[in-house]
Structure 1
Amino acid sequence: MKKKIGLALGGGGAKGISHVLTLEALEEMDLRPSFVTGTSIGALIGAMYCAGMSTAEMKAIFLEFSLREDESLKHIVTRKHIFKWLDFIAPQFRGRGLLRVENLLTYLFESVHASRFSQLDIPLSVVASNFWSRQQVILKTGPLIPAIRASMSLPGLFEPVKIKNQVLIDGGAVNPVPFDILPKDCDLTIAVDVIGERTVSEKIPSLSEAVFNTYQIMQKSIIREKLELMSPDIYLEPNVVDIRVLEFYKAAEIFKQATSIKRKLKRKINQQLLSITQ
């Protein structure tokens, strides 16, 4: 009998690109999740996958904008479709958020044939936070891209999204790794935490570093509390260090740092499946 696998993809900004390697490991084992949940970048990667995009296609998209060893940032602007990417990373100081995520999402979803949750090949649930009630909001029906936008709307960077009279912001504020909303009848649950680590330093952080790292400190506290109450069968943390929230141009470096996650996941899955069948 086919085992029901539930996969939870956490938030973590650019470090979440490493989720592609988790999905690649599952592909190589000829395994396919029955359910996916996602927060922030995890919601985006999850949506791309659930809509039928292969990990090879996802890798190609992110690597297209990756800074190579012999390049500086100015080299990236000469590449194909780069102006859509620049639309995403360029500050919009007159808006309510410094960045507008629609342009990136529009680009990423050009090759994804799904505009609604009902069109996805695999059921997906996306986590956002209600700004005013401070409660978790789970989105799993209706238009897809607005839900992903809401889940990624990091305060101060991305403009909040209004869905059904709710003002929504980044899901990481309430549930950074949403393994607890996976269906209870899963045979195997996998959660991936991509918040990552920073090298310990004595230097005073910049304002942006202080804001983002403080947010991630709070996320880690939420995760620790959740893990004391319940835990997934497999909990993974890719070894991605010193990658900032918006450094998507470091995709090649992120993939390189996170390579070992594939081997770890395969080993843990084999151990879990063996215990299930015994």
Structure 2
Amino acid sequence: MAFISSFKVGRETVYPESLRERLRGFPLLADVGDAALRRLLSEANWFGLPGGMLLKRDGENHRALFLVVTGSLGVFVDDEKGGKRLVAHIPAGETVGEMSLISGEDSHSAQLVALRDTELLRISQEGFESLIARHPLVMMNLMRVLVKRLQETTQSPSDKVRPKTFALIPLQEGLGDEPIARRIASVLVQMGSKAAVLDANSAEQSAEWFNAFEAAHDVVFYRGDAPDSAWTQLCLRQADRILLLADADRPLPLRPLDLPAFKERATGLPQLLLLHRSGNTEELPEHFALRSGLFESHHHVRAHNMDDIRRLARFIAGRAIGLVLAGGGARGFAHIGVIKALMEAGVPFDNLGGTSMGGIIAAGIALEWSLDELIARTREVFVKSNPLSDYTIPLIALVRGKKVSSLLREHFGDIRIEEMPRPFFCVSSDLTSGRIHVHRAGPLWRALRASVALPGILPPVTHHGHLLVDGGVMNNLPVDVMAQRSTGPIIASDVTGELDIRVTDERYGERPWWWLVWQRMRGSPSILSILMRSGTVGSEAQRRLVREQVNYLFEPPLPDIGLRDWKKFDQAVAEGYEHAQGVIEKHGVPLTDVWAEGPAVTLPHRR
């Protein structure tokens, strides 16, 4: 890749006229005239920053203004897990560093990283002050730039920055000609995006050419060839996001990231695309478990399965649909009705998660069970079998839990979460650490067993010395967990409603046992009902808070269905379906806008 060239004439650095024309398009330099441009160039220093490299803010860069001529920079901050999170994108034609010039502060809380090969002009504080002293219009333009950024931040509080360029790098021989990039690009075009694929034939193009090409498209795939080729290195430097392609039938390389361009990148981990020629996602490649920590996430792509390609395209376009289902005991059966209505409306589910009963139902969808299979299995487990019927001496719980474990293993088998065709998670509450535990790997049945372990009713699940109980204790509607990795709108079904427990006798807890038995026959809460409600009431504030992150919310009213009304399965499904149909009909089924064309929409009924 060739950069803009400059040369010396005496002591003056001379830049090509193309650079002067480009600078005229900077908002900072709007209408300033040729004299101001000449002054700026006399004060500026040009340099290139390879993609993935950190812009160090010391020495000459300590307090300076940077103009992004070609390429782009990413603004990264530390996240709660010790990694880096991209919070802003600075494309060509923009500036950065203004605040340090104005405020005089020395600290830089964020890091600037080249998202692709980038050319910059650096102006020192002294040079900038000299420029604005002679050309005050530059300072006025700077104020306009800062005000516009403040307005954009206020109007669009989301801190998610959508990646635009993707490097697709084969990890094994024989995958260089795999047409997956072109298949994804074709779907993106059908969705209304401008998408294109570049290969090694473009290797000799200039940085300016790549900048213009990316500006003309919404998504660009850089398809690499040999891992150590010059073209692959360029692909990695140009990419906002790296996708590694691997054949699931062959072992992963023991050191898949042992490449110079990987080591030099200051941005996040790559994503892994597992190509399944057999169509079976349970066949993971050798060394996968040992290398899974090297990847941010992974996607299963089954040969000749266009649904997988469409799903991957939605993830890339930032339109993947996340479905989150709340816990709620028997009331959770209503989720099935909501799902049925959404399926009839043609809504795809790309990313699934839930708590307790919601986690179980979401797992069935992530395993691609048909609606009939989901209904049949749920009815078998909860209606016909009554999993909470193996009572025991209540030393740690009222129920032994073996029946629940046996039923979960029977219906979910030995499949691991990372083997599921679609991304899935469920949550449990860690009594040892006092934090939410998010299950994204490991045996599915055991994760679900932890997610439904209501304290006092089912025994906790042990995990590396920690005690895990029902996720509803701390987070009954884990929308926030979905939002951490979601690339698009989130649909949630919350069956908690206005569920409460009421008694009219002020001395209810002091009455003799025979009186309580009589009251129980008249509908007073039992010990199981009290324990089940106690297991979720603590997360009410959290549930209300995360609802603000939902794009489309369903709240089936279930006034006659309690947490343990297992026999009301059909009624709950029907009421969930009726509610969802009504919501969809009322709002004109605008859901297709979410993933087909146009930006994600926030519907007016969200609360």
Query: In terms of mean alpha carbon deviation, does 151-160 or 196-205 score higher?
Result: 196-205
Equivalent in 303, 314, 332 of residue 16 of structure 1: 332
Give distance in 2, aligned partners of 1:269 and 1:39. Answer: 30
Aligned position for 2:598: 277
Q: Residues 11 and 42 of structure 1 are in contact (CA less than 8 Å); yes or no, is this contact kept in structure 2?
A: yes
Summarize the Cα distance change of 1:116–1:64 in structure 2 as closer, same or farther, 3 Å threshold: closer
Equivalent in 133, 139, 144 of residue 439 of structure 2: 139
Summarize the Cα distance change of 1:54–1:265 in structure 2 as closer, same or farther, 3 Å threshold: farther
Aligned position for 1:243: 561
Verify: 1:99 aligned to 2:419, yes or no. Answer: no
Verify: 1:158 aligned to 2:458, yes or no. Answer: yes
Q: Percent identity?
A: 25
Q: Which has the higher helix share?
A: 1
Aligned position for 1:226: 546
Name the SS of the counterpart of 1:89 in structure 2. coil
Higher relative contact order (CA 8 A, sep 6+): 1
Query: In terms of mean alpha carbon deviation, does 230-239 or 145-154 score higher?
Result: 230-239
> Could you tell me which amino acid in structure 1 is paired with residue 493 of structure 2?
V
Unaligned 5+ runs, structure 2: 1-190, 192-313, 506-523, 600-607
1:11 deviates by 0.6
> Could you tell me which amino acid in structure 2 is paired with residue 57 of structure 1?
E
1:19 deviates by 1.3
Verify: 1:4 aligned to 2:325, yes or no. Answer: no
Give distance in 2, aligned partners of 1:131 and 1:199. Answer: 24
> Could you tell me which amino acid in structure 1 is paired with residue 598 of structure 2?
T
Summarize the Cα distance change of 1:130–1:245 in structure 2 as closer, same or farther, 3 Å threshold: same
Verify: 1:42 aligned to 2:343, yes or no. Answer: no
Give distance in 2, aligned partners of 1:62 and 1:157. Answer: 20
Q: Residues 340 and 577 of structure 2 are in contact (CA less than 8 Å); yes or no, is this contact kept in structure 1?
A: no
Name the SS of the counterpart of 2:324 in structure 1. strand
1:187 deviates by 2.2
Q: Which has the higher strand share?
A: 2
The 5 Å alignment of 1:66-105 reads 82=384, 85-86=385-386, 88-93=388-393, 96-104=396-404
1:233 deviates by 0.3
1:65 deviates by 7.7
Aligned position for 1:195: 496
The structure with more radius of gyration: 2
Give distance in 2, aligned partners of 1:263 and 1:87. Answer: 31
Summarize the Cα distance change of 1:246–1:269 in structure 2 as closer, same or farther, 3 Å threshold: farther
Name the SS of the counterpart of 1:277 in structure 2. coil
Give distance in 1, aligned partners of 2:379 and 2:328. Answer: 18
> Could you tell me which amino acid in structure 2 is paired with residue 96 of structure 1?
I
Q: Residues 124 and 140 of structure 1 are in contact (CA less than 8 Å); yes or no, is this contact kept in structure 2?
A: yes
Q: Residues 10 and 194 of structure 1 are in contact (CA less than 8 Å); yes or no, is this contact kept in structure 2?
A: yes
Deviations 1:138-192 (A, max 9, x none): 1101111111000110000011001222210010111110111114443221111
Give distance in 2, aligned partners of 1:263 and 1:109. Answer: 33
> Could you tell me which amino acid in structure 1 is paired with residue 569 of structure 2?
A
Give distance in 2, aligned partners of 1:137 and 1:152. Answer: 13
Equivalent in 57, 82, 92 of residue 373 of structure 2: 57
> Could you tell me which amino acid in structure 2 is paired with residue 218 of structure 1?
G
1:41 deviates by 0.7
Deviations 1:194-252 (A, max 9, x none): 1133488653443524444444443333212334xx42101211111232322222202
> Could you tell me which amino acid in structure 2 is paired with residue 126 of structure 1?
C
Summarize the Cα distance change of 1:176–1:87 in structure 2 as closer, same or farther, 3 Å threshold: closer
